[in-house]
Each structure stands twice: as structure tokens, then as C-alpha cells.
Amino acid sequence: MLPGSDKRRKVAVLGLGYVGLPLAVAMCEAGHRVAGFDVDAGRLCDIVAGRTGLVDLDHDALARALKRGDLVVTGEPGDLAACEVYLVCVPTPLRDGVPNLSMVLAAVDTVAETLAPGDLVVLESTTWPGTTEEVVAPRLRERTALVAGTDVRLVFSPERIDPGNREYPLARIPKLVGGVTRADGEFAAEFYGTFIDTVHLVSGAAEAELAKILENTFRHVNLALVNELATMYSGTSIDLREAIDAAATKPFGFLPFHPGPGVGGHCIPVDPMYLTRQTRRSGRCLRLVETAELINIGMSTHVVDRVTGLLNSVRMPVRGSRIVLLGAGYKPDVADSRESSAFPIMDRLHQLGAYIRWHDPLLGSVDKGPPGSRVADLDRSLLASADLVLLHTPHAEYVGSELLPAARLTLDAHGALRSRRLPNVHGL
């Protein structure tokens, strides 16, 4: 039970995207009352109508929470006045390669409008170690005269959601918590424990910030290793994916990572850059991490080279060729194209003179790529008329499709079709 109260809290969630909205629904299911805040009026309307596009969200639970009034969504800061817990769950993207905290600062300013002594503020947005104490705490004090760790509780607790991962829904993912004081962390840990199965308390906010960055930098570096090996063994008789699977039979000392057309999404391409940016400001560099970035970014060029090579093998120049790209999201079965390598690949092939068409059943109104290149429906004639099909993102709809055998040449960027042993399918 939380100090001085029962378990029922009035919570404000700022940012109702893939992190904030599932958190809001989970808290309502646990008995809390939630005010969800977002500056995007269209998103608020979609949430009320149940049109979120979030594959991991329990939409029935969302409807129940809205109907009961346990969840209200708003774009008015004044509607947060009765809240005693504030969760900041807004994006922290890169802008021209530089970490951008503008949305975090805007959210903190919104919190400051109604913050009261004794309240809890949690930053869930990924950022560099030191942000909570060196940026958020001073900002709150400047706006409210309230001191973090004394007048209000301030904590960093990183989001760890993996969109599309059915094995680990939100409640099963251990929650890291680090406060500017131990007491702040303990208070927040008890709060999260009302709707998360396992809460891990660390000694401070900076340790929690670094832990989050470390998780995704680990993946970034290991993906770079197998991606570089993919470029080395491309077109040879050695099956890299089989070698990876073989190495993974060792029960210790090895974790399998698999090559692909690049790294995308909200974490892996972005989070390590927060760390390298901070390191450069101190006059040092993280050479391994920076090299991994170059390798992973370079995979889109490797894919283009591979497409060119496969076309050449059948005496077809890339200029004038007809290429169909399947799947433009950053990962299978997720409606998210952030940092996806699909669009740099398409743009480069278009520049080389290829005629590009692309299809993705999940991306809704996304209109990127060469002008007029997106197709709404996938049929046998489209694939049969293509000189090459690039399976960029192996959505389940594609992997089991009976249309793929119609393609003359297929480049399978993730090895998703290996078990089908289709003719004219090639790997990276």
C-alpha cells in the first residue's frame, strides 16, 4: 500500500503513444484513475473511437476504462490539476543527429502548471544519463520553486515496451526505477508495483538512464557484428544464418542476433546516439558504438548493391527495372515506420532509375517513397510483372503468402523464407 493512501491514485500520463496509452490502460485496470494528456487532437479522437493502431493495446480494456470514466483523455493542462502522479512518456527523437528534448521540456512545463508538494513526477522517455537531475529537476524548480527530492518526488523509469512481443506484455516486463533520492525511488517502485509484476529499484536516476541506453546499445553493437558478416559472406556458399543458429546451440556465452536491411524503430537507431553525443561533449568517444552506427546505416547501401547484383545476374540493369518492395515498417507485424531502412533503400533505387512499387498492409496513411509508388493491394500480377521483389519487412501476411512463388527474383532481407525453400529466393 502506498504511504498515506490506499492504492488508488489519480495519475496524469503525458504522451499517449505506444508507451503512454498502454500504461494508462494498465493503471486503470489496477484501480487507478488516469488523465491522459496529448497535444495531438486527432490522436485523442482516435483513442476515444478505439482507432489506435497499437498492436499491443487491449482495446477492450481501453473501452472499459473510458466508459467507466477511469480514463479521460484531454489536451487541456488544467484537467491534470487533481493528479498526484505524473508520467512523462513523450518521444525523444534525434534531429539532424542531435538529441532533441523539446517534447520532454514541453511536457515538464505542462506538469509544472498543476504540480503540488508531495507529488510524484516520473520521466519514462529515453535520454542520456544525467537528464533527470540535470535538466528536469532544475526545470521544475524554475517553473514551480519546488525542489526535487525535497518538495516533490522525481524519478526516472525507462519504458521497455517491445511492440509486437506477445510473450512479454507490459505487466511482465520488469520495471526499472531510480529516484533522485532513495525515498523517491521507493515511493515510485511501490506505485509501479500495483500494476507491474516485477520492479527493480536502482540507486539513482542516472543508473536507470544508463541501463536503458545500455540495453539498446548492446543490441545495436551485436546487430552491427552480424550485419558486417552478412556483407562479407554475401553471395558466397557459406550460410551465415545457419552458422548463427549453430552457434546458438551453445547454452552459455552466446546470444543469437540476425542480419537485416538496417536497424529501425524508436530505440536501437536512436538511443546509442544519446550516449555517444554525451561522450563527445566530454572530449572522448565510444569507438565501438560509433562504428556500429556506421555499419548499421550502411546496410541500406548493401541491400541496394545486392539488388543490383541479382539483377545483373539475369542480365538486367537496375535502370528501368521494376522492383516491388514488401513491408516498409521497421519490424514484422508492427504498424511503425520510424527510422525504417525501407525508404532510404527505395529512394536510392529510384535515383538509380528503377521503377519502384511498395506495399505494407499495416502502415495506414503513410505516404513516403518515390511519388505514386505505394500500392494498396497486393496481387499475383504485380509480383509476376516485377523483375525483383524485395521482402524488406517479413509481415506474417507475406511469409505465408502463396503469391511469392510468382516472383522471378526475390531478395529476402531477413531470411524469413528459408524454410519454404522457394526457387529464386536469395538472402543478403
Q: Which cell numbers in the block locate residue 114? A: 498543476
Q: Which cell numbers in the block locate residue 261? A: 536491411
Quick check: 279 and 285 in contact, CB under 8 A? Answer: yes
Among 348, 417, 346, CA closest to 375: 346
Q: Which cell numbers in the block locate residue 168? A: 512479454
Q: Which helix (H) or strand (E) holds 323?
A: strand 322-326
b/e map of 188-215 (b: 16 or more CB within 10 Å)?
A: bbbbbbbbbeebebbebbbebbbbbbeb
Pairwise CA distance, residues 374 & 352, whole Å: 18
Pairwise CA distance, residues 101 & 92, whole Å: 6
285 tagged catalytic: no
Out of 28, 83, 89, 267, the active site residue is 267
Quick check: 277 and 319 in contact, CB under 8 A? Answer: no
Quick check: 262 and 301 in contact, CB under 8 A? Answer: no
Quick check: 395 and 417 in contact, CB under 8 A? Answer: no
Among 142, 107, 102, CA closest to 122: 107
Pairwise CA distance, residues 35 & 403, whole Å: 46
Catalytic center residues: 267
